[in-house]
Amino acid sequence: MSLRTPLSKVIGRGSAGEGVGHWWVQRVTAVALLPLTAWFVISLLGQSLQSYDAMRGWLGQPWVAVPTILLVFTLAWHSKLGVQVVIEDYVHAKGAKTTLLLLSTFVHIGAAVAGIFAILALALS
Amino acid sequence: MNQRPLSPHLGVYKFMYTMSLSILHRITGCAAAVGFLLFVWWLMALASGPAAYASAMGALGSPLAKLLLVGFTFSFVYHFCNGIRHLVWDTGRGLERAQARRSGTVVVVAALLLTAVAVWFGCRAFGISP
């Protein structure tokens, strides 16, 4: 016997009232990050990190800049969702929880914008 | 205040090493989030010009920073490998106890090996002889 109402089954949002959106996007971004991070780390480790000109020239290329923008965007999103779960699980005081969640959201969006801006500035100048 | 138990209530479980791998997934995820901020800071330094980039690379060259970079590398690599394990579980495969234990061992060994390889290539990219 199910205690769920027909309406709750149709809406499909479960007991937390939020559905599976968070869980699913965490997986979608995880799958996207597998090739993006693997490509970036392998490519980066082949560069001369100490040379400003070499790094600038490498990151400014269209076929490097675009996947790196995708990487920054997807990393920020995945990280935001993950940090959110950690805060929700371990911080129970309502004020502290809300403050930390807001702070995490702002830091992640700020970092994403800064990272993407930096890559565009290198690629388009 | 309502005193009902809130998830996760870790105290009720018997300790097993698969559990420490799961906790490590969270810890390395948090470390990787900090690593992401460091990565963005590095991108901003590169976009700010040669002087800013040189001082950023100088800061990253200090012994403490090098140790942190190795830690971030391990965190990322472990989270990457164990993340694949979690994605496989999400398809409903590999959830038997023996399978989960075996895949856990594979993840730890792979993470340590890949960290060593990444640090070796990282030293070369930094211009330090490994």
pLDDT of amino acid A102: 98
Q: Around Cβ B86, how many Cβ atoms within 10 Å?
A: 15
Does the CB of A86 have a partner CB in chain B at under 8 Å? yes
> For residue A30, which residues of chain B lie inside 8 Å, CB to CB?
83, 86-87
> For residue A100, which residues of chain B lie inside 8 Å, CB to CB?
none
Does the CB of A75 have a partner CB in chain B at under 8 Å? yes
> For residue A118, which residues of chain B lie inside 8 Å, CB to CB?
40, 43-44, 46-47
- What's CA A54's distance to the chain center, in Å? 28
Residue of B nearest to A83 (CA): B30
Residue-wise pLDDT tens digits, A28-85 = 999 999 999 999 999 999 999 999 999 999 999 999 999 999 999 999 999 999 999 9
Is the backbone of residue B49 left (phi > 0), alpha (psi -120 to 50) or beta?
left
- Which of B6, B87, B125 is closest, CB to CB, to A27? B87
Residue-wise pLDDT tens digits, A93-119 = 999 999 999 999 999 999 999 999 999
- What's CA A61's distance to the chain center, in Å? 23
- In the predicted model, what is the mean pLDDT of chain A? 94
- In the predicted model, what is the mean pLDDT of chain B? 92
Distance CA A89, CA B28 (A): 16
Q: Around Cβ A116, how many Cβ atoms within 10 Å?
A: 19
A48: Cβ–Cβ under 8 A, 6 or more apart, which residues?
A54, A55, B125, B127
Do the Cβ atoms of B37 and A79 come closer than 8 Å?
A: no
Closest by CA position to A30, among listed A74, A85, A93: A74
Distance CA A59, CA A73 (A): 16
Query: What letter represents residue B66's amino acid?
Result: K
This prediction has a pTM of 0.90
Interchain pair A111, B46: CB under 8 A: no
ipTM computed for the complex:
0.91
Do the Cβ atoms of B76 and B68 come closer than 8 Å?
A: no
Do the Cβ atoms of B46 and B53 come closer than 8 Å?
A: yes
Tell me the three state secondary structure of residue B99: helix
> For residue B37, which residues of chain A lie inside 8 Å, CB to CB?
107, 111
